[in-house]
Amino acid sequence: MIDGTVWAVRLIRKRKVKILYCGDIVGRAGRNVIINHIKEVREKFKADAVIVNAENAAHGFGLSPSIAEDLLNAGVDGITTGNHIWQQKEIYPFLDNCSQIIRPLNYPEGLPGKGAQILNINGKKLLIAQVLGRLFMPPINSITEPLDELLKYYRLGKTVDAVLVDIHGEATSEKLALGFYLDGKVSLVAGTHTHVPTADARILPNKTGYITDVGMCGDFNSVLGFEPQTPVERLSEKLTQQNRLIPANGKELTIWGILAETDSNGLCTNITQIRETFENK
């Protein structure tokens, strides 16, 4: 079941999958480094599937249809989003029409888009799903209930080859708790939203890959992908009329990501944190 729709499922031939998941794309710098370099990064790591988080791709806040199309045309297989997904209104109808993009699963029913999608990539079926955290975030529905319902219909290693669950949230404890909650049920639980890559990539006891935050794609010499001036002014309470966050676009661009490999049962056998840097041209 994906957002109320029951799909016919069948047993699949078991296949290993190698997933490259890239962290939050921030502004033009993040878009450019993915659009210009994701094919070579994919080839370097021999990834079967490339998924990116693009909720900050449109000048730092939200995602537009044209940017989504640029990312998909550049070789991205699937796009996750987050709490800023509703900031660019032109994306609303696109969410209903594009089968390669998801918004958080635990938003109320009836909103545009889907919280989970199945990607068919070279004969391999990858289920991607996303939930929004509840701690220090705007009010949202249960994290676990929609995932429980989803995983009744899509069984790891039986009806899908691999399952990636993104938790987009602030609290490390909440992300860790979801990792253990889903341990053995999905291939990878990966956190996004804070833009700071964490050093805890690991395989949990029941063979689910986990990281608290994947990181970001863009100008890493910044404050979460934004020019430092406004955050510094806010910190020191020296507010100015121009107090808007501006995405950074410096000389060096970074792709932070996670490479997760699964066995024929869809469980994680290896998880590696990657950082690739490129000159901004």
Active-site positions read 84
- How far, in Å, CA of 108 to CA of 234, rounded? 33
Q: And the tokens for 174? A: 């909440």
For residues 184 and 164, the answer to whether their CB atoms sit within 8 Å is: no
Where are the strands (E) in the chain, listed by range?
A: 18-22, 24-25, 49-53, 78-80, 116-121, 124-132, 162-168, 188-192, 202-203, 209-211, 216-218, 252-262, 268-279
Largest CA distance in the chain: 60
For residues 160 and 126, the answer to whether their CB atoms sit within 8 Å is: yes
- The DSSP result for 17-75, as a single string, is -EEEEE-EEBHHHHHHHHHHHHHHHHHHHT-SEEEEE-TBTTTTS---HHHHHHHHHTT
Backbone phi and psi for residue 5, each to the nearest 5 degrees, phi listed first: -105, 125
Query: Which of 42, 10, 12 lies closest to 264 in space, CA to CA?
Result: 12
